[in-house]
Structure 1
Amino acid sequence: MVRLILAAFSAIVGLVCAALSLSALSVVGADDIVDTAPSQVHDGAYAFVLNPQLVPFENTEATLQVSGDKDLFMGTASGVDVDSYLTGIAHEEVTEIDFPQALKTRFVDGEPAPLNDAAGRDWWTASQTGSQLSHTFDLDAESGEVIVVAPADPEGNLDGVDVQLKMDTGGVFPASLIGLAIAILAFGAAAYFLLRWLDARPGRRRRLRREYGRGGSGRGGSGGSGMSDLGNRAKDLAGRTAASAKRATARKNRSQRTAQRARKATGIGSVVTLGVLAGCSPLPVAQPSSPNLTEFERPALRAGEAGEFLTSYTERLDASLKGDEDQLDKIQAPPLLDRTRAEILIAKAGKTELSAVNFDQIVAGGPSFAEYPMWFIAFGKPAESDETVQAMLVTRESAGEDWQVTQSLFVPQENVPTLVAGGTGAVEQSGKEFTELGTTANETLQQYLETGEIPENDQSIEYASDAFTGFRDYVDEMAGNDEAFEDTKVTCDPYDQATVPLASHGLKTETGDVSFGEVRCAIELKVRSGGSIDVGEELEAVMTSDLEGGRLVISTSIPYMLLGSEQTNLIVGSDWFLLEAQTTD
């Protein structure tokens, strides 16, 4: 029975090895390359997207090849960036890969092209252009990146572009030959065990025993004389005694042969088993695997990205401050943009020149994101100052847009927190508790700016600069002009959180948390009947109406940075800013 089991086991091993080896050889061939059938990109598609996680193999590399009549752009980027960039844009995505069949895809309808061309985006980790392109990628890498093909022409498409995926299966061809050799050995072992089993069947033994049967005539045979019968019996007894001895010797020999065969069977079975186990163990060749699609995620900043952006930002801001204002809304966003426009008007009225600050040191950090919008906080040390640092909140609404500085103010060097980044380069985002603290801090600051009195609070909130007292001094100065005004009212509100939720853009620091905020205050002055108004050069620069009317309303901006810790919570400001002024009845 053992021989029959070993024969069946060896036959199964042989069949499996032969089937796998022949199947691999039929697909891979002798060059160790397997590829998909060539296919063309869907007409009207602006981009073609391949997620490497879809390739059902590991322990090897694959290459995407594209070719067309016109120049093409090929780049790799985080899936977060690509998903955002191609939202609403006509493109084709690979959905399934089954070698050697053609790539299975789906076409996503949309606009023919994005507002900003693919080649001009700054989030590509690698890119190339040409009419025939290829990109090789490691199937074991966990980069979270996808491959994108787009036209080099911003207004072009991928009509007529051919795509094909090739995979290196180095080692599969020799491994298949080894598999065939194992199959042959396994079939040989199966034949050996089967013949041994047939030879040892009980029917076969009975036939062998009959060869040692009794001699003479049986009871039914012809008789002889009594003397002859007695002699025959004596001969028969002697024959049976000799036969019995022969059978004992035969049994001993068969027992020895059986033991030897068992030892041989055990040895051969061990060899076959080891061969099978070796065949099942991981080999240094391409191995099939099930696609495991993980969610895309990336840190807001990659190495050196903050420095590159802020260097470019400084140059473009300097050009805008000196006359090229059309570029300003591309590098800044409200609430900072509102203040900068007002400062430009005031500088023109005073015939003064503004200039951007150059940084000689930049520290920045942001959390990880699975989708846009993204943001980060940066601290830039001005080249000409060792006492103050420019703190900035930088945001990006989508992958198709550029980074913009949303909030900015100068803070004392001693109030600059230390950001702590993790292994991916991302900084942990502040929790809900700190966001709620930001709302409370904004409310207490509003009360102080309106009344000039610091309200009581149970959050240990303190004020760390003269920016807020400077605003109150201005209000008191305007209210003290009895010749022009007879009543003064201050109304403050938080900056519109629906536009930019500043309080929720917080990061963990070495000692607590940091975020930004802003209060918008309107100073309403009732003009005294018959009085004259001299608003001054700065107010006149931001006036949006004439000076006729019974009331003068001045809109202002008070930005700040909030630092949270276990001991105290600090509101740090740098200055307050005029935004606009107008008269009403």
Structure 2
Amino acid sequence: MRFARIAFGLLLALVGLLVTLAGAVAAFWLVGPDNTLATGSKPLASRGLAVMTAPDLLDRHGPTLHVTAAAAKPVFVGVGQDIDVASYLGTSEYTRVVRLNPPSDLDTQEMKGDVAALTPPGGLDWWIVKAGGSGEQSVAWPIADGRYDVVVMNADGSPGVDARVVLGVELEGAFATCLLVLGIGMVLLVGGLLLMFLRKRKTPAPPAPVIPSPMPYTPPALQGSGRVRRVATAGTAVTSLLLVATGCVAVPEKNAGSQAMTRPAVALADGQAVVKRYNEVNNQANQARNAKLSETIEGGTTLAQTRAGYRINSKLDAAGKNKTKPFTYTDPQIGAPEFAAYPMRFVAFSGVSDDPESRQLGVWQRQSAGTPWVLTNSVYPLATTKVPPVDDLRVPTKADMAKLPILPQTAGNDLAAYLTGGAKSSKAALFVPSPRTVMLLSQRAKSKVDAVKADYISTVTDTFRLSGDPVTFITSTGEALVFLSLTEQYLQTIEPGHNAYFTSGPETAFSSMVKYTQTLHQNYLYQAALVIPPTGKPRILSLDGQLVSAGGS
């Protein structure tokens, strides 16, 4: 049995040697005292705009991801949700990391597309973590469950990325586990060597006693076999302990799913920062009457109204003596619904610094991840108007829409018919009007009566129409908060044999001293906000208009 003991000892020593080497390599080369398994510095280059990981590459969560990049040019490193990164890169050319082969290899795939420079990434607010600038840039992020991408690109958003990148994953307790493996390997190695070379010391046998009956005798060879079994049992126990100790720590959890994620359109602090930036840029644009500057913070109907207002003010106040005084939207309350794709929108409900009797209710929209937030809808309800809470807003589902007594599109068309027909319209009974709506209809009714008194005006028509699709949100109270745009054409028919023209007022910004023989028209653009409750009439929160053109035929 001595041969069996030596053979088993040799096997145990070989296993111990392999485990010792594996533990030493893992502890002092792969992992290290910082518990981080890293790829080492790898050159990553792309002719396109970025190098990014595929969304399915980070398929486990829990450990901390470390990314370090260095390049000759200022470099940017960021981690973002795939919703945002995919929208930001869009159809751009970039390099995708599709596979990691620890410890040092990775596979890439070239994604063809445009190479036009992107918006510099550092100024975008949707990154989970980011770092950018000259020299080495590093980020650390506890990997979350979901679809996330790591992006390395030039800090200015230009094409042609050439950086050296280190990717590492910090596993809590990894270094200690590797040391434990090293220790177990050494125990197995020493145990194997002892079995191979340590011989039991022989001693003289004592005189055999006289006993009544012979006792069972265990041969020395079998005693050695029992020692082998005890060593093997101890090794098995230690190995089992190692598996139990490291099974949950060393293996991160698999992500729950790979479906598209949703996220709030904006964080509270970021939404407030958007409003703050709007205040600053808007006041600069107002002082300069600079529509180009307004384009960086406004869009849609809001921008169209601003452009028309600047044109009118430049005509009526060419010397610039009556420019809009600086004002701000104060204490904005942010309502940010969840979105799974762009465009994204959020709502802000604010005070107005120069008008304590009014509030501002606006919709900010971001068309893609690389574009700025712009104010697309903006109304000014009175401070006494009951506005539903904007926190916990959500994008309406089919089930939400089915609960409404009237759909937003239908409500918009009915509102246009109500404004066209005036206070006596059959649609008037469908709405609870705002004070300013009542005032507008009263002014239009008076204007029609006064116009036809003139010898040169034959008839007057006033027509409102819904423009575009309503923007709808569902509030925490189950009501629909709806933003609409409407157009109005105030048309005057000229009596035969007469002519008419605009001699003063806002209309002269679009048509001054031009004589018309058939019609005069003034075109207005309105923004409206409605609340459609589950029961009852829709309430008009505000209706705000701006003359946008004038002329005739």
TM-score in terms of structure 1 length: 0.74
Q: Distance in 2 between matches of 1:469 and 1:181?
A: 91
Q: What is the deviation of 1:378?
A: 0.7
Contact map agreement 1:41 1:48 (CA 8 A) in 2: yes
User: How far does residue 363 in structure 1 lie from its aligned partner after superposition?
Assistant: 0.5
Residues 138 and 266 of structure 1, relative CA distance in 2, 3 Å threshold: farther
Counting only pairs closer than 5 Å after superposition, residues 262-281 of structure 1 correspond to structure 2 as 274-281=237-244
In structure 2, the CA distance between the partners of 1:286 and 1:12, relative to structure 1 (3 Å rule), is: farther
Per-residue deviation, 1:532: 4.8
Q: Distance in 2 between matches of 1:95 and 1:291?
A: 18
1:463 aligns to what? 433
Deviations 1:428-453 (A, max 9, x none): 22334448621121121111122123
Question: Are residues 52 and 490 of structure 1, via their aligned partners in 2, closer, same or farther at CA, if it must alter by over 3 Å?
Answer: closer
1:303 and 2:271 correspond:
no
Question: What's 2:547 paired with?
Answer: 578
Match of 2:110, as an amino acid?
F
Q: Are the counterparts in 2 of residues 468 and 576 from structure 1 also a CA contact under 8 Å?
A: no
**Secondary structure in 2 matching 1:563:** strand
What aligned pairs does 1:42-53 form with structure 2 within 5 A after superposition?
Answer: 42-50=45-53
The answer to which of 559-568 and 267-276 deviates more is 267-276
**CA distance 1:122–1:486, change in 2 (3 Å):** same
Match for 2:528 among 560, 566, 574? 560
**Distance (Å, rounded) in 1 between the aligned partners of 2:108 and 2:307:** 48
- Equivalent residues of 2:363, 2:376 under 8 A apart: yes
- 464-473 or 18-27, which deviates more: 18-27
Aligned partner of 2:359 among 384, 389, 406: 389
Give the CA deviation at 1:472: 5.6
The answer to whether the 8 Å contact 2:266/2:346 transfers is: yes
For residues 70-115 of structure 1, give each alpha carbon's deviation from its aligned partner in whole angstroms, at most 9, with x where no partner exists.
3322233333222111112221122111212322221212222434
What residue identity is the alignment partner of 2:362? M
> Alignment partner of 2:161: what SS?
coil
Matched, 1:401 2:403: no
Within-5 A mapping of 1:422-441: 427-432=393-398, 433-434=400-401, 437-441=407-411
Q: Distance in 1 between matches of 2:499 and 2:61?
A: 82
- Is residue 2:491 matched to residue 1:524? yes
Query: In the TM superposition, what are the counterparts of 1:34-113 in structure 2 within 5 Å?
Result: 34-36=37-39, 38-50=41-53, 54=57, 60-113=63-116
Range with greater deviation from structure 2 (46-55 or 404-413): 46-55
1:412-431 matched pairs, under 5 angstroms: 412-413=382-383, 414-421=385-392, 427-431=393-397
Cα distance per residue 1:262-286 (max 9 Å; x no partner): x999999986665444222243996
2:307 equivalent in structure 1: 341
Question: Alpha-carbon deviation of 1:560?
Answer: 1.3
User: Which structure has the larger Rg?
Assistant: 1
Aligned to 1:512: 479
| SS at 1:467 equivalent | helix
- The yes-or-no answer on 1:331 pairing with 2:297 is yes
Q: Deviations over 1:46-80 (max 9, x none)?
A: 21224697357766434323222233222333332
CA offsets per residue over residues 300-328 of structure 1, 9 Å max, x none?
11131122111221221222222222212
438-447 or 283-292, which deviates more: 283-292
- The SS at the match of 2:153 is strand
| C-alpha RMSD of matched pairs (Å) | 4.2
Distance in 2, matches of 1:559 and 1:111, equals: 37
Does the Cα contact within 8 Å between 2:47 and 2:161 map onto a contact in 1?
yes
Sort the Cα spacing of 1:58 and 1:565 in 2 relative to 1 into closer, same or farther, 3 A: closer
Q: Is the 8 A contact 1:554 1:582 kept in 2?
A: yes
Separation in 1 of the partners of 2:431 and 2:20? 74
In structure 2, do the counterparts of structure 1 residues 136 and 442 end up closer, same or farther at CA, with 3 Å as the change threshold?
A: closer
Give yes or no for contact 1:74–1:149 (8 Å, CA) kept in 2: yes
Query: Measured at CA, do residues 545 and 468 of structure 1 come closer, stay the same or move farther in structure 2, by a change above 3 Å?
Result: farther
Distance 2:386 2:27 in 1: 64
Q: Does residue 283 of structure 1 match 2:286?
A: no
Would the aligned equivalents of 1:334 and 1:407 in 2 still touch at CA under 8 Å? yes
- Partner in structure 1 of residue 185 of structure 2: 180
Q: Distance in 2 between matches of 1:13 and 1:406?
A: 74
2:110 aligned counterpart, secondary structure:
strand
C-alpha separation between the residues in 2 aligned to 1:545 and 1:366? 49
| Distance change >3 Å, CA 430–CA 130, structure 1 → 2 | closer
Looking at structure 2, the residues matched to 574 and 467 of structure 1 have their Cα atoms a distance apart, in angstroms, of 6
Equivalent pair of 2:295/2:303 in contact (CA under 8 Å): yes
1:170 positional shift: 2.4
TM-score, length of structure 2 as denominator length: 0.78
The equivalent residue for 1:492 is 464
Q: CA deviation at 1:527?
A: 0.9
TM-aligned CA distance change 1:475 to 1:102, over 3 Å: farther
Q: Which runs of 5+ in 2 are unaligned?
A: 1-7, 197-211
Residue number in structure 2 paired with 1:317: 282
Indicate the larger mover: 366-375 or 551-560.
551-560
Matched position secondary structure for 2:468: coil
Is the 2:330–2:353 Cα contact (8 Å) retained in structure 1? yes
> 8 Å contact 2:61–2:144 — kept in the other structure?
no
Distance 1:139 1:20, change over 3 A: farther
Partner of 2:168: 166
Structure-1 separation of matches of 2:336 and 2:229: 65
Residue 306 of structure 1 aligns to which amino acid in structure 2?
G
> What is the alpha-carbon distance in structure 1 between the residues aligned to residue 489 and residue 78 of structure 2?
50
User: Residues of 1 paired with 2:285 and 2:324: CA distance?
Assistant: 10
User: Which residue type is aligned with residue 300 of structure 1?
Assistant: A
**What amino acid maps onto 1:379 in structure 2?**
F
Return 5+ residue gaps in structure 1 as ranges.
Answer: 1-7, 192-244, 422-426
Displacement, 1:141?
A: 3.7
